[in-house]
Structure 1
Amino acid sequence: MKSPSATLLAEVRTFRQNYPEVRYVDLIALDIPGHFYGKRYPVDMLEKVAAGSPLKLPQNAVLLGAQGGLFKIGDYCFNDGDPDANRRLVPGTLKPVSWESQPLGQMLITSDGTEAPIEFEPREVLTKVVERLHHKGIHPVVAFELEFYLFDKKLDDGLPQFARDPLSDDADDQPNLHIERLSRFSDVLDDMAQTAKAQGIDITVITAEIGPGQFEINFCHCDDGLRAADWAALFCRSTRGVALKHGYRASFMAKPYLQFPGSGMHVHVSLYDGAGNNVLAAHQQQPLRHAVAGCLALLPHCMPIFSPNHNAFRRLGGTVNAATRASWGFEDRDACVRIPESDPRNLRIEHRLASADANPYLVLAAILAGLEHGLETRQEPIAPLNEDRSSGTDFPVDMLDAVRAMQHQSVVRDKLGAEFVDVYCENKRQDHLAFQQEISAREYRWFL
């Protein structure tokens, strides 16, 4: 077998042969709010990194707020000297970038797998959860579904405008599920799909959703949870880039219009043992019920992950299929945890609560932690919505309440890491308070 450095070096050299016009490669990683940060490397220097030269970036880049600012979180950022931390290249992620004006490449980097991983880096948090499940003989298979809106490239006084129908040049302002919308916007949607595939992302179904200019793209089921989350993160980046190239804005904002459905991140998860048997389907599906109970038990304490900003909480209890309580059901899209109809081999849960702009690494880590907790405690879930439409337990619908519910919950701290939970909760608290430090035009209209 090749050593990791030999494999990476071969990947870089093959890339250079296939794309000789590329002179720079963006080395990127996802921070806590779900934005990419990184460095643009000359491709010849990338060969040196692949061969084993150190790759260091500031540790605290992971802690950036939604607007890129740094918050004082314990001793981080202002009392720690802003140290560098090692990163490594993620094999198999060096791909061309087609949406920029100049030839570029991009490649994921991470601290997981280094000598001193950053405990609060999102990919490292997910890595720990996946590795713990593997040690228990449990192997997740994961598929993400992401909804997003297309807007006109130009904003109107800072507000989004409906995407222009390329056939009529009229605003695409009619909410519908019509297949014709896929035809009308086929140029940009096809480019998004082909670009995603060029990034190594296995996508399947494209759907015109209910909101005006709203679409959903599904990903294939993947037996590597980290790679599945990588796909979701990279898809958001490439989709925004392709949209701009075609004269649109693509946004994964949770609730861009109050009167239309929000955009969600739906995650399908099934669990298999080492022999390939579906763990959830064993013993008349009793493990499925336990897993559902665990998900519902932790859900109210993971709301800052599923709804990571002020706008995401607006989506809850919205016009279509957005739950207001922690609930579950068979073939029921009003439930947070839906059990799609399937044969025993493919039995799975569909977690539907997270907003489309949530961090995919953390969303998946929280879901897997809930499944693990349920399999450990073997509790029975509450009644499904199919039996009782009022079934469900409350969860916080405000960021500060959600942070309080998350920070001191012992199971969440144990499953996701106490250091991560403290850092994440303070980051969300500070982001929320910073968001409040502006007087809106509505306040002047109401109270001046």
Structure 2
Amino acid sequence: MKSHYSTLLAEVRTFRQNHPDVRYVDLIALDIPGHFYGKRYPVEMLEKVAAGSPLKLPQNAVLLGAQGGLFKIGDYCFNDGDPDANRRLVPGTLKPVSWEAQPLGQMLITSDGTEAPIEFEPREVLAKVLERLQHKGIHPVVAFELEFYLFDKKLENGLPQFARDPLSDDADDQPNLHIERLSRFSEVLDDMAQTAKAQGIDITVITAEIGPGQFEINFGHCDDGLRAADWAALFCRSTRGVALKHGYRASFMAKPYLQFPGSGMHVHVSLYDAAGNNLLAAHQQQALRHAVAGCLELLPHCMPIFSPNHNAFRRLGGTVNAATRASWGFEDRDACVRIPESDPRNLRIEHRVASADANPYLVLAAILVGLEHGLEAKREPIAPLNEDRSSGTDFPVEMLDAVRAMQQQPIVRDKLGAEFVDVYCENKRQDHLAFQQEIHAREYRWFL
């Protein structure tokens, strides 16, 4: 423990030496809906925390709804006295923030690894899954891919507007995959990439996607699942900030346009043993088939994680490469679980069903639980789409149905934690009901 604090203290002091103009550091963590919460600390106080002083925030900050409000969930929030809970600093995440007007730093905090971790904190949920897999000799290697849209900075009547082409000042309103879009928006995209790298995020490929103003960022393969999810979370934060600095609005909203493709979070996962052997390639890839079967079995019961809000369900069955049933296939982007072509060493699954605004810690935890269950159950999967285009099993496409399916699934409750499942499902149910408590103009047009 002493060496742990020495490492943290050295990190903070090095940061202060390299960034003497930074007076405050944002200590941040991801809540259940995938928003950052935290506190802004004077940098000199951060040294005290790094040396071992307590760092406490309200436990129930994790339970905030999509709009920031608190819901009554069991005894939490209104019958528990709103207690504080210990957090710790995540080593290696203290980085400068370049998109704010004033010099600033940021650093991730978490309850995992503390004496009393918060059972429903997203990072803690993933940490427990990874720890269990490690004890079983399973070591995941993970790579996220995130799609997002650029919009004009100003909304019109609350609606997003197409991003303006910086060369012609025309709206970038044409769906295409043209490489020229990367050149036209190179200034903001390059800033996003450099800012991400300054945050310690290993980003690789940038792609112009099909939707107007839509792009995709790929991350490097990482043998630390927590760090891979950290990268995805931090990228969303920095990308929004950089976009605003350049006069745009970046959004990871799942389905901003009905007529254009939605934005997804694609996760590549391979599994290795301690000797570095790819477990999915074992027994002539029979283990891969078992893992796929487990993913497909639990997928319908994890839909509140993969599609965390009303808009995210709109993306399913959309215009391009958005599955309507739990399915799999080799080199098939219509499948929920795609098997990219690769050699046995790099054999992996690509899980494609999650929306870009899903919580990356929870998405990865749910995927790993599916793989773990499949390897243990050793069942054969349904036919791949390559053999039968109608192959697939139904999954819920409405939040309240999805919540019921998740809350009642014993394997999901066991492997993700019953307390987390109950809290998460009630949070989603309450958020969905709150979303419905507003009459929109369309209702008056139809029914007045």
TM-score range, shorter chain: over 0.9
Would you say 1:404 and 2:404 are equivalent positions?
Answer: yes
Give the deviation of 1:162 after TM superposition. 0.1
Deviations 1:93-140 (A, max 9, x none): 000000000000000000000000000000000000000000000000
Deviations 1:124-173 (A, max 9, x none): 00000000000000000000000000000000000000000000000000
If the length of structure 2 is used for normalisation, what is the TM-score?
A: 1.00
Give the deviation of 1:91 after TM superposition. 0.1
Deviations 1:364-408 (A, max 9, x none): 000000000000000000000000000000000000000000001
Aligned to 1:3, the other structure's residue is in SS state helix
Structure 2 counterpart of 1:435: 435
Give the deviation of 1:423 after TM superposition. 0.1
Would you say 1:20 and 2:20 are equivalent positions?
Answer: yes
Gaps of 5+ in 2: none
Structure 2 counterpart of 1:154: 154
Would you say 1:198 and 2:198 are equivalent positions?
Answer: yes
Q: Distance in 2 between matches of 1:3 and 1:295?
A: 40
Would you say 1:133 and 2:136 are equivalent positions?
Answer: no
Deviations 1:163-211 (A, max 9, x none): 0000000000000000000000000000000000000000000000000
Q: Distance in 2 between matches of 1:351 and 1:183?
A: 30
Q: Distance in 2 between matches of 1:304 and 1:297?
A: 15
Deviations 1:212-266 (A, max 9, x none): 0000000000000000000000000000000000000000000000000000000
Gaps of 5+ in 1: none
Structure 1 counterpart of 2:144: 144
Aligned to 1:32, the other structure's residue is in SS state coil
Deviations 1:26-60 (A, max 9, x none): 00000000000000000000000000000000000
Structure 2 counterpart of 1:337: 337
Q: Distance in 1 between matches of 2:2 and 2:49?
A: 17
Q: Distance in 1 between matches of 2:408 and 2:88?
A: 32
CA RMSD of aligned residues (A): 0.6
Structure 2 counterpart of 1:349: 349
Would you say 1:317 and 2:321 are equivalent positions?
Answer: no
Structure 2 counterpart of 1:94: 94
* Runs (4+) off by over 2 Å: none
Structure 1 counterpart of 2:72: 72
Q: Distance in 2 between matches of 1:414 and 1:10?
A: 39
Give the deviation of 1:274 after TM superposition. 0.2
Give the deviation of 1:2 after TM superposition. 6.8
Q: Distance in 2 between matches of 1:51 and 1:353?
A: 42
Structure 1 counterpart of 2:251: 251
Deviations 1:260-285 (A, max 9, x none): 00000000000000000000001100
Give the deviation of 1:340 after TM superposition. 0.1
Q: Distance in 1 between matches of 2:120 and 2:237?
A: 22
Q: Distance in 2 between matches of 1:2 and 1:262?
A: 48
Aligned to 2:143, the other structure's residue is in SS state strand
Aligned to 2:183, the other structure's residue is in SS state helix
State the percentage of identical aligned residues.
94
If the length of structure 1 is used for normalisation, what is the TM-score?
A: 1.00
Deviations 1:272-323 (A, max 9, x none): 0000000000110000000000000000000000000000000000000000
For residues 222-233 of structure 1, the aligned pairs below 5 Å read 222-233=222-233
Q: Distance in 1 between matches of 2:42 and 2:2?
A: 25
